[in-house]
Amino acid sequence: MNKFCIISVKTADKEVPQEARSTRRYRDHLIRFVATGYELPRTDAVELELDGEWTKGKYGVQLQVEQWREIVPKTKSGVEGYLASGLIKGIGPATAAQIVSRFGVETLDILQNHPERLLEIKGITESKLEDIKTSYAESRMLQDLMTLLSPFKITPKTALKIYQHFGPASVDILKKSPFELCQVSGFGFLRVDAIVQKNGGDLHDPMRVKGALFWALEDSKGGKGHLFLPGETLRKEALRLLNAKIPLPSLRLHEQEVTDVLQDMILHGEVVSVKDNIYLPRTFAQEDETARRIAMRLVKPSAPERIDQVLEQVKREMGLALSSKQEAAVYAAYRHSLSIITGSPGTGKTTVLKTILEVYRRLHPKGEIVLMAPTGRASRRMAESTGFDKARTLHSGLGLGSEEDDANRNRKQEPLSADLIIVDEFSMVDMWLADKFFSRIKDGARVVLVGDPDQLPSVGAGNVFRELIDCGMIPVTVLDQIFRQSKDSLIAYNAKFINEGNTKLYFGPDFIFMASDNQAEAAERIIARYCREIAESGIDRVQILSPFRSEGAASAEQLNEAIREVVNPFRSAEEEIKIGVKVFRVNDRIMQTKNTAKVSNGDLGFIRYIKDDEDGKRVGLDFGVGRELEYSVEDMVNLDLAYATTIHKAMGSEYETVIMPLLKAHTVMLYRNLLYTGITRAKKRVVLIGQKQVLFMAIHRNEIVKRNTLLGTRIGMYYKAYAKRAGIPVPAALEEELKHAG
């Protein structure tokens, strides 16, 4: 599901705008126009009712479909066309013809009420029947959902998200209260409330109050990275939402109404309250289970190994001169079941990892090693730098989707077989992914987490890496001596200065500042510099990183369009493809935005060709290192232009050259960790374009917004409980800290 489609529609409806109609004449005298949307049937045998908006784009006026429904066919040919439309997995044109030949106009009744009779059809096996039943039930459920929620003008894509959240009971749940939608990502309370009130909803309905509470928790998690909200904060935020659109004071809700509903939710397990800190149940479980597993590993550590002789041998043969801290990091990996290595770029983290790996190979020739990182680019860089070719993304290594569509959410999985697990860029790991990771580590395995806590925190909720470092229970080695870059290179040194709040930066050929007073002027200079850099280094080695995604001429989206017109201008319609509002061309630089089996979210590549075949347009993509893929139109929705991207999107990546705008318009986003993250993506050159006072302001702005998380405290609580049970002394400092934490 979730496939973007472009279809040609024929109709007798004279209300189709003249400018949207095909200019060709047809024998049936019906009007033709183009419609775009998700999961639209691509066959002329299905009659549809479409609802949407006429939009004008580069290729003329098209109907952008917001929702659609099938008109149930009543004839044999209509039923056969419906079955062959591709809406039902397991039934193609040949099978559809056989089914209708046997059951005639009763086919849909058979499918709905007696699906087992399909086994009478040659070629339909038990497993194929299960596919058909599941697909048909899902298709009907989505249609029922779209009908029920028609006031919300939801798309099939959104209906699928709702179905994935609530399951087969979706329609029944939402019939009781549409405010349950507030539990689903993308449905803000105010959006749901406006439609419910328009249809006569009760302002004081407890389900409305519950919806506001759910949304306040979801919004704080997705928008601010909080795992919980203090009860008072939650109640005030819910009350603000509830009364936001009520002008008359006499109609507004009071805090006691919110308190009563919240208490009822706690009583029925719909939220979790711990010392009046309110969690969504799944979020609490993630934090609590992760803390429990980590504490158990700390109480029952792997047996320490003597590596002195092997380490000396490795150092001698590899010609290594490790610093005292680098050596300490290697020893920690073999003395503890869980250890952490931190440091900014150039401080020798890769050397430490190569040493750990080589020592392990010699100690355990048959031992299994797994290297992982949150992004595809980071995992490939890890493989290249260590010489270990089996590095994977965490999602791939753990067999995961996203948090929303995680197919394994309720399925217990076996532990990883690895004896040594090293994860790089761990600062990018959020609470959901950390929970998945720590749940899969077998007893006795050694785990080394590597990262830079001064970079931006994870996009998802939580502050896992910082909590693990600060909990005081896990051995942490901080590498702070710069090795990697030569003394003439300024990037690592300036990164260190920025991290210390020092504005006395060094500028030179590899750390350049270009003055510009506004976004338009900055955009012109960025484009000119970009063209110069790609001519010198190649387009795949240069990246523009903007603090903003879409606002202003120096935002990632607007820079993408402007740069594309310079470096890859329009040549012919055959070399372009339009996907919704996006236009892609042959030779465009693109970024994957969703994890798949073959490419990861954040992977960069190029469009190599666009062609037509019997299944529609096909697009050839080159993601490098032998990953040449062919995408359908449906797959293309997961691509963005990538001449420029946001700093957040670049986390976990490295480029030869980074170009960054720094302007007053960006000040709302510019903090020290954002600036630091941006410049540390560069290996050889940084070009900053904007205003120096904005650069200095960003260096001084270190007011990191605290995320509500108690992972570190929970690790300490569980460690204390497990240690006492095992007769292990609990450090006095931990006792005092836990007493202070309550």
Residues 235 and 288 in one domain: no
In a domain, 168, yes or no: no
pLDDT in tens, 579-599: 877 899 999 999 998 877 788
127 and 181: one domain? no
Domain presence at residue 569 = yes
617, 573 in Cβ contact below 8 A? no
Q: How many CA atoms lie within 13 A of 304 on its CB side?
A: 9
**pLDDT score, position 55:** 87
pLDDT band at 366 (very low <50, low <70, confident <90, very high): very high
Amino acid, single-letter form, for residue 278: I
Region 669-691: mean pLDDT is: 94
What's the confidence (pLDDT) of residue 2?
47
Q: Is the pLDDT of residue 123 over 90?
A: no
Average pLDDT on 510-517 reads 95
Residues 6+ apart with CB under 8 A from 275: 742
Domain check: are 402 and 539 in the same one?
A: no
Among the three residues 198, 232, 266, which one is the final residue of a domain in this structure?
Answer: 266
Q: Which two tokens stand for residue 97?
A: 């013809």
Of all residues in the chain, the percent with pLDDT exceeding 70 is: 92
Instruction: Name the residue among 386, 432, 388, 398 with its Cα closest to residue 595.
Output: 398
| Longest Cα separation, the chain | 89
pLDDT computed for residue 358 by the predictor: 94
Within a domain: 721:
no
**Strand (E) or helix (H) holding 34:** strand 31-38
On whether the CB atoms of residues 107 and 79 are closer than 8 A, the answer is yes
Asked if residue 453 and residue 319 are part of one domain, the reply reads yes
pLDDT of residue 355: 96
On whether residue 716 sits in a domain, the answer given is no
- Higher pLDDT: 705 or 222? It is 222
Tokens of 220: 């704080």
670 within a domain of the structure (yes/no): yes
Residues in binding site for ATP: 346-350
Q: Which two tokens stand for residue 139?
A: 């298709």
- Segment 126-174, tens digit of pLDDT: 888 888 888 888 777 777 777 777 676 666 667 777 887 888 888 888 8
Is 464 inside any structural domain? yes
Which of residues 407, 439, 474 is at a domain's end? 474
Over range 689-718, report the average pLDDT: 93
**Cβ contact 313:359 at 8 Å:** no
Q: How high is the pLDDT of residue 21?
A: 87
pLDDT confidence of residue 1? 43
Q: What is the mean pLDDT of residues 220-226?
A: 92
Query: Residue 651 sits in which domain range?
Result: 490-583+636-700
Residues in a beta bridge with 611: 618
Q: Do 461 and 329 share a structural domain?
A: yes
Mean pLDDT calculated for residue range 334-348 = 91
Average pLDDT over residues 225-232: 97
Residue 163 lies inside a defined structural domain of this protein:
no
Q: Residue 488's pLDDT is what?
A: 59
How do residues 465-508 score in pLDDT, each as one tens digit? Answer: 999 999 989 999 999 888 755 555 799 899 999 999 999 999 99
568 and 461 within one domain:
no
- For the stretch 20-50, pLDDT in tens is 888 887 877 888 888 887 667 666 666 788 8
- Cite the annotated binding site by residue number: 346-350
CA–CA distance, 56 with 140 (Å, rounded to integer): 32
Looking at every residue in the chain, the average pLDDT score rounds to 87
Check whether 84 has a pLDDT greater than 80.
Answer: no
Q: What are the φ and ψ backbone dihedral angles of 230, each rounded to 5 degrees?
A: -60, 145
CA angle 64, 89, 53 (to 5 degrees): 5
Q: What residue ranges in 524-574 does DSSP mark as E strands?
A: 542-546
Contact 668, 695 (CB under 8 A): no
Task: Please indicate, yes or no, whether residues 383 and 328 belong to a single structural domain of this protein.
Answer: yes
Residues 330 and 260 in one domain: no
Domain count, the chain: 4
Question: Among the listed ranges 146-160, 347-361, 544-558, which one has the minimum average pLDDT value?
Answer: 146-160
Q: Which of 7-16, 283-292, 518-527 bottoms out in mean pLDDT, i.e. has the lowest?
A: 7-16
CATH number for position 233: 1.10.10
- Its pTM stands at 0.80
Q: Can you list the alpha helix ranges (DSSP code H) found in 180-307?
A: 189-198, 206-224, 231-243, 255-267, 281-299
Non-local CB neighbours of 324 within 8 Å, separated by 6+ positions: none
The proportion of the chain whose per-residue pLDDT surpasses 90, expressed as a percent, equals 50
Question: How does residue 637 score in pLDDT terms, banded at 50, 70 and 90?
Answer: confident
Question: Among residues 211, 240, 266, which one ends one of the domains?
Answer: 266
**In this structure, are 86 and 141 located in the same domain?**
yes
Residue for token digits 């009860």?
Answer: 231
Which residue(s) pair with 49 in the sheet? 69
CATH of the domain at 577: 3.40.50.300
My answer on whether 144 and 194 are in the same domain is: no
Does residue 279 fall inside a structural domain?
A: no
Q: Does one domain contain both 232 and 346? A: no
Which pLDDT belongs to residue 372?
96
Q: Average the pLDDT over each of 340-344, 610-614, 617-621, 712-716 and give the range with the smallest value.
A: 610-614
Out of 186-195, 286-295, 526-535, least confident range: 186-195
Q: Which range is least confidently modeled, 504-513, 608-617, 618-627, 698-707?
A: 608-617
Kindly tell me if the per-residue pLDDT of 407 is higher than 50.
Answer: no
Pick the closest to residue 1 from 127, 131, 142 (CA basis).
142
> Do both 120 and 253 map to the same domain?
no
